[in-house]
Structure 1
Amino acid sequence: MVLDHFALATSIAHRYDHRGLERQDLEQVALLGLVQAVRRYDPEQGSGFLAFAVPTITGELKRHFRDHGWAVRPPRQLQEHCLAVRSSAERLAQELGRDPTAAEVAASLGLSVRDVGQARGVDGQYVARSMDAPLDHDGGTTLSDTLGETATDLDRVDDFETLRPLLRNLKSRERLIVRLRFVDNLTQRQIGQRIGVSQMQVSRLLSDILLRLRRAIAAKHDDISAAS
């Protein structure tokens, strides 16, 4: 039974690739789950072996991630929500032929949209990010460049204080987009999944928001210069 379902176990393990754990380790955990499924399976219960084996293997992998897979470990319930949200989103994407909205994922799991948002917020915390990692695809600015190592960053305080009331004047969805992009560091695609629009729409919304903020800041500086 183990040899006949070897490929099944490894294919399930590969679903969890690129989340901070070695593929070989994941395959070993999946095979352990397969062995446990073979030992515990009772054909007299009526269900087929696959219906029993798949959740058994998946459960072993999820437990392994909860115990070993987090660089920054969130609360246990949030870890479970994170894995459930990712799994549900992948299933719904296949069924719908598009990325599901946060509301659709929440409905499928019996969670609130806020729960889904929090779960997605911790997704990707399996691996600590390098300080030399580029913030954008062009590879120009790194994470360490944004940490204010020089005194010249103090010159930006005035801009921050100017920006604060301007952000409060944005619509609630616009403030959410800004927070997701520049505080939570989500990609445009991830933001689109959170608010239920396409990546292209997020790009247009961000461009419009940033243009209005730049113009408002420039106008404030012009007013200050004229007054002085």
Structure 2
Amino acid sequence: MSGTDVTADRTRTTDGEISLHHIPDPSRVAPLDARELSRHFFRRLAELEEGTEEYQYTRNTLIEMNMSLVRFAAGRFRHRGDDMEDIVQVGMIGLIKAIDRFEISREVEFTSFVLPYVTGEIKRFFRDTSWAVHVPRRLQELRLELAKARDELRTRLDRDPTTAELATLLDLPESEVVEAQLASNGYTSASLDAALTTDNGQDGESVLADFIGVEDEAMELVEDFHVLAPLVAQLPERDRRLLHLRFVEELTQGEIGERLGYSQMHVSRLIKQLIARLKSGMLADTDPV
């Protein structure tokens, strides 16, 4: 081991394997040492029964030993301006998921396996807590100034200020204040599962999603069938039978070959040619003039 501040109590069995008993402070294990130690802990974890005290110790040690990987990944997001401790805590979720899903038998380095999990959780955190739509930074900053100005005028006037009054206080054109107010709507988004409030102020049983139309995939199938039907009707009898056996009766290519006296390779080739011809005909039918 290369680390000097942390050592693991270990002995060698008769087979020469390292048997790890205890690491005083896993979070202080040097990254290079953690990489080697993790291999042995993952092998041990695979042998233990989940829920036992030794299983929990082994899993927790793996988590603490590899926290440096989370800090490394979190450092790439330092420029986002959020509290680094919050980013690290989110990244820890990815680390735990990676440990629970890692399989030592696949002979993949854990460092390569874990980083996509950690960065994925951090990116999801920013996606869920950032602006719902892209807004220029100028308007993002103006939103904060607008909120302060509105609070100040509301206290001074004992009512909600007008756009003109906000523009005067901020020394900005009214059009720019209106633009910032509109941009503020992009900061948060409503959940489609959120209960709608009724006229008396109580939450009703309906949710926003109930009032939003969705695309009916079956309608697209109807259009496809409408275009496909005349193309199939123009095919020779043999080709129509091939399609019927394959896609209606759902026979295998081998079974179709036995019925028609063809080899499986020949059936495969014929079906591919048929599908390509029909696809070409459908695309030609939908191309704009």
Q: Normalized against structure 2, the TM-score is what?
A: 0.27
Q: Identify the structure with the greater strand proportion.
A: 2
Q: Normalized against structure 1, the TM-score is what?
A: 0.34
Q: Which of the pair has more CA radius of gyration?
A: 2
Structure number with the bigger relative contact order (C-alpha 8 A, sep ≥ 6) is: 1
